[in-house]
Amino acid sequence: MIAKDMIFINPTILRSLNKSKLRKKILFFLYKIHPQGVYLSELSRWVNSDPSNVLGCLKGMGTRYNGSYSLIEMGLVECIDEAGMKIYVITRYGKNIVEYLKDYDSIDRW
């Protein structure tokens, strides 16, 4: 039997999310409000973190937030420019990752 909606889960993405509670929190929040997007300042308030830290998780910033492990670079979030304002929205792949993590976390382990 073949799983209906099998997707590839990149282990690097899982490692990145498990190493950063803030990345995971941002992704889960964007999942919760999907299909709506959110501005950086509003997102910062909802996840209870400084806007510079949230931006680092989204886009990468210097050595503290590696750009190749940012939510946008990993394809989990996209930035939409709407009338000069940047809105952050979870991607379809990002939704699949959150659903995988929710299923994984619900597995009864030993």
Domains of the chain (ranges; CATH) run 22-104 (1.10.10.10)
Angle between helices 11-19 and 21-33 (to 10 degrees): 110
Measuring CA to CA, which residue among 73, 69, 89 is closest to residue 81?
A: 89
Strand order in the sheet with 85-90: 38-39, 85-90, 77-82
For residue 60, the number of C-alpha atoms closer than 13 Å in the C-beta half-sphere is: 13
Higher local confidence (pLDDT), 54 or 10: 54
| Chain segment 83-95, per-residue pLDDT in tens | 889 999 999 999 9
Measuring CA to CA, which residue among 42, 41, 48, 45 is closest to residue 22?
A: 48
| Chain segment 32-76, per-residue pLDDT in tens | 999 999 999 999 999 999 999 999 999 988 766 666 788 999 999
